[in-house]
Structure 1
Amino acid sequence: MFISQIPAICSRDVRIAERRRKIMASTGTITVMLIVLTAWLIAVSIFLARMMGRYRRLTSGIKKRDLRELLEHASEKLNEQNASIENLQETLNLLKKDEEDHLQKIGFLRFNPFVDTGGDQSFCLAILDRHNNGIVISSLHSRDQTRLYAKKVLTGKSEGQELSKEEKEAVVRAQKS
């Protein structure tokens, strides 16, 4: 009887070993699935925490946390800011247009027009706007006196009076500045 039970016992042991191998394989699969699910759960938790923080910041200062009221409030604020931006844009455009007429380019040149005086005490000062319109002021210093001259400049050239070489140089320097 004992010998006759050997094939049944061996067959049973083989089946038990087969079941153990399947259980071990499924345990590895289950472990991998648990790790993936844990990582996914952590990612979802972080995302949810961030969203809750944003929601709290969005609803701070509002007594009743009604979504419709919240959206209406945000829409009003957005409309106010858009109107403010439009006003600022209009002001900026006016300032840009007005800026073109402001004197903004300066050219300065010191020189000595007379042989008998020492030092470069005479000068030419050109002050121009964006379109190279403006004035040239010249100061000629001699031993006895100092004289000032002013000439109008339109588009980089004198209107009505000839510019001296020093005055032309001052205008060129102003145009480059």
Structure 2
Amino acid sequence: MNELSQTTGIVAVAAAVVALLALVLALVLWRSVRRLRADQRAVLGDERRDLVAHAAELDRQFRALHEWVIDVATRIQRRTDRVETRLNQTLAHTAVVRYDAYNEMTGHQSVSIALLDAERRGIVLSSIHHRDQARLYIKQVEHGQGSIPLTPEEEEAVRAALAREVPDRAFEAGEQP
């Protein structure tokens, strides 16, 4: 009988140890599940849905956002192309040449001004000053050449204008002008 009670005591102590280990394991698992549910709520929100449905919704939203970004990028590119086309038609090359037209007045009162765009089109304005009068001439320039013959001073103004560096208006992303 003594042996039986000793065996019963050992079994009882062993059962208590196993029960205590099971309780500790249950507490650890309960805490882990609580953290997992909190993480799941952070990712999925408070709605009751599974991870696959949430991933499908995220994929749908991402595709919609991607299409929107492509649409916006396309519109921006079209506007940029229009702006660059218009910029090519603005003044890009300019020069002023002053001179004495009749060798009777000093002070370089006569002037030829070249006003050209990036495609070397534009005009040359020449103002010829004489003692009694001043005349203004305007000549068309195409591809860096006058549509009618240019005077040496007008040619010099066109050459000087074209010799100046044209700033590149297209910059890489993040690059400063």
Q: TM-score, normalised by structure 1?
A: 0.57
Q: Residue 127 of structure 1 is aligned with which of 115, 121, 124?
A: 115
Structure 1 residue 142: Cα displacement = 2.3
Between the aligned residues of both structures, percent identity stands at 29
1:63: how far off?
6.8
Query: Offset of 1:104 from its aligned partner?
Result: 2.3
Kindly state the Cα deviation for residue 73 of structure 1 after the two structures are TM-superposed.
2.1
Matching residue of 1:114:
102
The change in CA–CA distance for 1:90 and 1:63 in structure 2 (over 3 A counts) is farther
Structure 2 alignment gaps of length 5 or more: 1-38, 165-177
CA distance in structure 2 between the aligned counterparts of 1:151 and 1:125, rounded to whole angstroms: 10
- 1:83 offset after TM fit, Å? 0.7
Higher helix share: 1
1:78 matched to 2:66? The reply is: yes
Q: What is the CA deviation profile of residues 132-165 of structure 1, one whole-angstrom value per residue up to 9, with x for unaligned ones?
A: 22111001122222211111112222223x2111
Matches within 5 A, 1:94-109: 94-109=82-97
Change (3 A) 1:133 1:63: farther
Q: What is the CA–CA distance in structure 1 between the aligned matches of 2:156 and 2:91, rounded to whole Å?
A: 18
Aligned equivalents of 2:108 and 2:145: distance in 1?
25
The residue matched to 2:132 in structure 1 has which SS?
A: coil
1:12-91 matches, cutoff 5 A: 64=47, 66-91=54-79
Q: CA deviation at 1:100?
A: 3.4
Detail structure 1 runs of 4+ shifted over 6 Å in the superposition. none
Letter in 2 for 1:83: D
Which range moved further: 94-103 or 140-149? 94-103
2:161 is equivalent to residue 174 of structure 1? yes
Q: 1:70/1:120 Cα in 2 relative to 1: closer, same or farther (>3 Å)?
A: same
Describe the shift of the 1:70–1:106 C-alpha distance in structure 2 as closer, same or farther (beyond 3 A): same
TM-score, L = length of structure 2:
0.57
In structure 1, the residue matched to 2:147 is 159
Question: Shift of residue 169 of structure 1?
Answer: 0.4
**Aligned-residue offset at 1:75:** 2.4
**Which residue identity lines up with residue 150 of structure 1 in the other structure?**
I
State how far apart, in whole Å, the 2-side matches of 1:100 and 1:73 are.
Answer: 40
Distance in 2, matches of 1:105 and 1:123, equals 17
Unaligned runs of 5+ in 1: 1-51
Structure 1 residue aligned with 2:137: 149
- Number of the residue aligned with 2:28: none
CA distances 1:41-62 after superposition (whole Å, capped 9, x unpaired) = xxxxxxxxxxx9xxx7xx6xx7
The one-letter amino acid of 1:81's match is V
